[in-house]
Amino acid sequence: MMAPAATAAASGAKAGAFDLATIVVADKAAATEAQVNLAAAVKKEGVEFLGQIGFTDAIVKALTDKKSPEVRANAAGAISTLIENGAGIYLEPYVVSSAAGTIFPALVEAFGDKDQKIVAPQAVAAVKAIVEAMNGAATSVLLPTLLTQIQTAGKWQVKSNSLLVLQQMIKSDPEQMGLAMPDLVPVLAGAVWDTKSDVKKAAKTTLEKATKLVQNKDIEKFIPALVKSLLNPIEEVPKTIVLLSATTFVSEVTAPTISLIAPLLIRGLDERPTATKRKVAVITDNMSKLVDSEYTVRPFLPQLLPRLIKTAETIADPEARSVANRAIATLRRIGKVPAESDGTDLPPLRVAEGPSLAADFVAAIKKSGGPDVEASNPAVAYAGVLAASLVNAHDYTQSLWEATVPQYLKLALGSFDVLPAVREVLQKKADEETTDDIKFDDEEEGEDLCNIDQFNLAYGAKILLHHANLRLKRGHRYGLLGRNGTGKSTLMNAIVANQVEGFPDPSQVRTFYVQHDIDGSEEDISIIDWVLADKRLLADEKEIRTTLESVGFDSEKQKHSIGSLSGGWKMKLALARAILFKADILLLDEPTNHLDVINVTWLIDYLTSLTHCTSIMVSHDSDFLNRTITDVLHLNNFKLKRYPGNLEAFINHVPEARSYFQLDVAEDYQFKLPDPPLLDGVKTKEKSLLKMRDVSFQYPGSPVQQLYNVNLQVSLSSRVAVLGPNGSGKSTLVKLLTGETEPNIGGTVWKHPNLVIGYVAQHAFHHIDQHLDSTPLEYMLWRYQTGEDLEELSKATRVLTEEEKKKMAEGATVIKDGVKRTIDELVARKKLKQSYEYEVSFKGLSSAENMWLSRDELVSRGFEKKVIELDTREAQRLGLMRPLVRREIEKHFEDFGLESEFVSHNSMRGLSGGQKVKVVLGAATWRRPHVICLDEPTNYLDRESLAALIAALKAFDGGVLIITHNQEFSESICSEVWAMSGGHLTASGHNWVEGQGSGARIDLPKEGDDEVEYDALGNPIAKAKKEKKKSAAELRKAKKDRMARRKRGEEVWSDEE
Asked whether residue 655 falls in the same domain as residue 691, the answer is no
Between 124-138, 451-465, 805-819, 831-845, the lowest mean confidence (pLDDT) is in 451-465
CB-neighbour burial class of residue 824 (10 A; exposed 0-12, middle 13-18, buried 19+): middle
Cα–Cα distance, 1039 to 960 (Å, whole number): 58
Pick from 552, 614, 619, 570: which is nearest to 591 by CA?
A: 619
Cβ contact 128:167 at 8 Å: no
CA distances from 412 to 49, 133, 322, 353, 787 (A): 11, 20, 60, 20, 85
Which residues, listed in sequence order, are joined to residue 760 by a DSSP beta bridge?
Answer: 934
Work out the angle between the directed axes of helices 156-172 and 119-133 (0-180°, nearest 10).
20
Asked whether residue 932 is domain-assigned, the answer is no
Of the two residues 15 and 632, the one the predictor is more confident about is: 632
Asked whether residue 699 falls in the same domain as residue 718, the answer is yes
CA distances from 553 to 159, 546, 724 (A): 84, 9, 20
Is the pLDDT at 16 greater than 60? The verdict is: no
Cβ contact 440:612 at 8 Å: no
Cβ contact 962:973 at 8 Å: yes
H helices present in 654-795, as ranges: 730-738, 776-783
- What number of H helices and E strands is found in the chain? 43, 21
Helix, strand or coil, per DSSP, at residue 37:
helix
Of the two residues 256 and 900, the one the predictor is more confident about is: 256
Asked whether residue 288 is domain-assigned, the answer is yes
Asked whether residue 565 is domain-assigned, the answer is no
Of the two residues 404 and 524, the one the predictor is more confident about is: 404
Asked whether residue 147 is domain-assigned, the answer is no
Asked whether residue 503 falls in the same domain as residue 649, the answer is yes
Asked whether residue 372 falls in the same domain as residue 470, the answer is no
Residue 2: which pLDDT band, with cuts at 50, 70 and 90?
A: very low
The pLDDT > 90 percentage for the chain reads 32
How do residues 306-326 score in pLDDT, each as one tens digit? Answer: 999 999 999 988 888 988 998
Cα–Cα distance, 978 to 723 (Å, whole number): 6
Asked whether residue 370 falls in the same domain as residue 491, the answer is no
| CA 207 centroid distance within chain | 33
The pLDDT > 70 percentage for the chain reads 89
pLDDT value, residue 599? 80
Count of domains forming the chain: 5
Q: Give me the chain's average pLDDT, please.
A: 84
Cα–Cα distance, 935 to 922 (Å, whole number): 15
pLDDT value, residue 45? 92
pLDDT value, residue 436? 46
User: For position 819, which CATH number holds?
Assistant: 2.40.50.990
Cβ contact 259:226 at 8 Å: no
Residue 4: which pLDDT band, with cuts at 50, 70 and 90?
A: very low
What sign results for the dihedral spanned by CA atoms 904, 906, 908, 913? negative
pLDDT value, residue 455? 82
Task: Please count the other Cβ atoms lying within 10 Å of the Cβ belonging to residue 413.
Answer: 21
User: For position 648, which CATH number holds?
Assistant: 3.40.50.300
Length of the chain in residues, anyone?
1057
Between 202-206, 226-230, 954-958, 1002-1006, the lowest mean confidence (pLDDT) is in 1002-1006
What does DSSP say about strands 639-644 and 631-636: parallel, antiparallel, or unpaired?
A: antiparallel
Asked whether residue 303 falls in the same domain as residue 256, the answer is yes
pLDDT value, residue 435? 46
Asked whether residue 300 falls in the same domain as residue 367, the answer is no
Its domain, for residue 463, covers 449-510+583-660
Cα–Cα distance, 92 to 83 (Å, whole number): 9
Domain boundary among 349, 368, 384: 349
- pLDDT (average), residues 365-383: 94
Cα–Cα distance, 227 to 229 (Å, whole number): 5
Cα–Cα distance, 801 to 777 (Å, whole number): 34
- pLDDT (average), residues 644-667: 79
Cβ contact 863:808 at 8 Å: yes
Cβ contact 918:635 at 8 Å: no
pLDDT value, residue 705? 84
pLDDT value, residue 103? 95
Is the pLDDT at 10 greater than 50? The verdict is: no
Cα–Cα distance, 618 to 627 (Å, whole number): 14
Helix, strand or coil, per DSSP, at residue 219:
coil
pLDDT value, residue 9? 35
Asked whether residue 422 falls in the same domain as residue 465, the answer is no
Cα–Cα distance, 323 to 441 (Å, whole number): 41
Helix, strand or coil, per DSSP, at residue 923:
helix
Of the two residues 462 and 1036, the one the predictor is more confident about is: 1036
Radius of gyration of the chain (CA): 40
Domain boundary among 851, 866, 881: 866
Asked whether residue 312 is domain-assigned, the answer is yes
Residue 12: which pLDDT band, with cuts at 50, 70 and 90?
A: very low
Asked whether residue 592 falls in the same domain as residue 461, the answer is yes
H helices present in 880-994, as ranges: 886-894, 900-905, 913-924, 943-955, 967-973
Domain boundary among 328, 349, 370: 349
Between 186-200, 655-669, 905-919, the lowest mean confidence (pLDDT) is in 655-669
Pick from 578, 735, 692: which is nearest to 985 by CA?
A: 692
Is the pLDDT at 433 greater than 80? The verdict is: no
DSSP string, 859-871: HHTT-HHHHHHHH
Asked whether residue 710 is domain-assigned, the answer is yes
Asked whether residue 271 falls in the same domain as residue 322, the answer is yes
Cβ contact 733:779 at 8 Å: no
What sign results for the dihedral spanned by CA atoms 31, 33, 35, 38? negative
Cα–Cα distance, 787 to 781 (Å, whole number): 10
User: For position 240, which CATH number holds?
Assistant: 1.25.10.10
Helix, strand or coil, per DSSP, at residue 47:
coil
Question: Amino acid identity of 584?
Answer: D
CA distances from 437 to 390, 431, 481 (A): 20, 9, 17
Cβ contact 191:203 at 8 Å: yes
Calculate ∠ Cα 345-347-351, nearest 5°.
140
Cα–Cα distance, 136 to 178 (Å, whole number): 12
Is the pLDDT at 405 greater than 70? The verdict is: yes
Pick from 642, 646, 654: which is nearest to 440 by CA?
A: 642
- pLDDT (average), residues 402-425: 93
- Phi and psi torsions of 725, nearest 5°: -70, 165
Per DSSP, 441 falls in state -
pLDDT value, residue 796? 59
Helix, strand or coil, per DSSP, at residue 635:
strand
Question: Amino acid identity of 103?
Answer: I
pLDDT value, residue 662? 66
Between 35-44, 712-721, 870-879, 881-890, the lowest mean confidence (pLDDT) is in 870-879
Asked whether residue 630 falls in the same domain as residue 698, the answer is no
Asked whether residue 415 is domain-assigned, the answer is yes
H helices present in 434-564, as ranges: 488-496, 527-532, 541-550
pLDDT value, residue 201? 95
pLDDT value, residue 940? 62
Buried b / exposed e across 495-505, counting CB within 10 Å, b at 16+? Answer: bbeeebeebbe
Of the ranges 47-61, 574-588, 1019-1033, which is most confident? Answer: 47-61
Is the pLDDT at 928 greater than 90? The verdict is: no
Calculate ∠ Cα 360-365-368, nearest 5°.
125
Asked whether residue 139 is domain-assigned, the answer is no
Cβ contact 104:62 at 8 Å: no
Three-state SS for 646-685 is CHHHHHHHCHHHHHHCCCCCECCECCCCCCCCCCCCCCEC
Is the pLDDT at 249 greater than 90? The verdict is: no
Is the pLDDT at 939 greater than 70? The verdict is: no
Helix, strand or coil, per DSSP, at residue 22:
helix
Residue 664: which pLDDT band, with cuts at 50, 70 and 90?
A: low
| CA 568 centroid distance within chain | 31
Residue 521: which pLDDT band, with cuts at 50, 70 and 90?
A: low
Cα–Cα distance, 1018 to 1032 (Å, whole number): 42
CA distances from 303 to 178, 204, 277, 311 (A): 21, 24, 15, 13
Cα–Cα distance, 716 to 673 (Å, whole number): 14
Cα–Cα distance, 434 to 69 (Å, whole number): 53
Is the pLDDT at 522 greater than 70? The verdict is: no
Asked whether residue 726 falls in the same domain as residue 636, the answer is no
- pLDDT (average), residues 333-360: 89
